[in-house]
Amino acid sequence: MPLLPEYARYLRELASLGSPQIWEVPLEHARATYRQMRPRNSGLAVSDVRECSVPVQGDDITVRVYTPNGELPQPALVYCHGGGWVIGDLDTADTPCRFLCRESQSVVVSVAYRRAPEHRFPVAAEDAYAALLWTVAHAEELGIDRKRVAVAGDSAG
């Protein structure tokens, strides 16, 4: 299937810039650049934002819990950030999580899964699953209706 002409043109223009491929960029530089492209937006107010520690195999991870205004319990969304399992983090997912919390009137649990290359596949996926189980187990204290829990994410998430 051929690419749409506008996508083909975009890819040619991108290649003409001579920029390095993503895998050629030092890891910390790639992560910092991605953070700059997706800044936090605290202006999207929600009722509460807090961080919790979730035990996973051999470690703990952090989840950031966004609670909407309104009566609890609410449905929940366990959200896995994008970034190719490598460059995203809780802060790069902050704006979409706030937006989803407000617009869906759901508690959003954003997962800081352990990233590659420091942690090899399937660690990130296992962390996401552990966060889902933790969310359901802690539904009452988080103000979540345990019968209405969904999973979502962007890009790799």
Q: Is residue 107 part of a domain?
A: yes
* CA 116 to chain CA centroid, nearest Å: 14
Q: Cα separation of 125 and 16, whole Å? A: 36
- 119-150 pLDDT, tens digit per residue, is 999 999 999 999 999 999 999 999 999 999 99
Q: What is the CATH number of the domain that holds 45?
A: 3.40.50.1820
**Domain with 112 in it:** 37-153
Query: Across the chain, what does the average pLDDT equal?
Result: 94
In terms of DSSP bridges, do strands 107-112 and 144-153 run parallel, antiparallel, or are they unpaired?
unpaired
- 2-27 pLDDT, tens digit per residue, is 889 998 898 888 888 888 887 899 99
Q: Is residue 55 part of a domain?
A: yes
Q: Is residue 15 part of a domain?
A: no
Q: Is residue 3 part of a domain?
A: no
| Pair 135, 76: CB distance under 8 Å | yes
| Pair 68, 102: CB distance under 8 Å | yes
Q: How confident is the model at residue 156 (pLDDT cuts 50, 70, 90)?
A: confident
Placement of tokens 């699953």 in the chain: 129
Considering its fold, how many domains does the chain have in total? 1
Q: Is 111 exposed, middle or buried (0-12, 13-18, 19+ CB in 10 A)?
A: buried
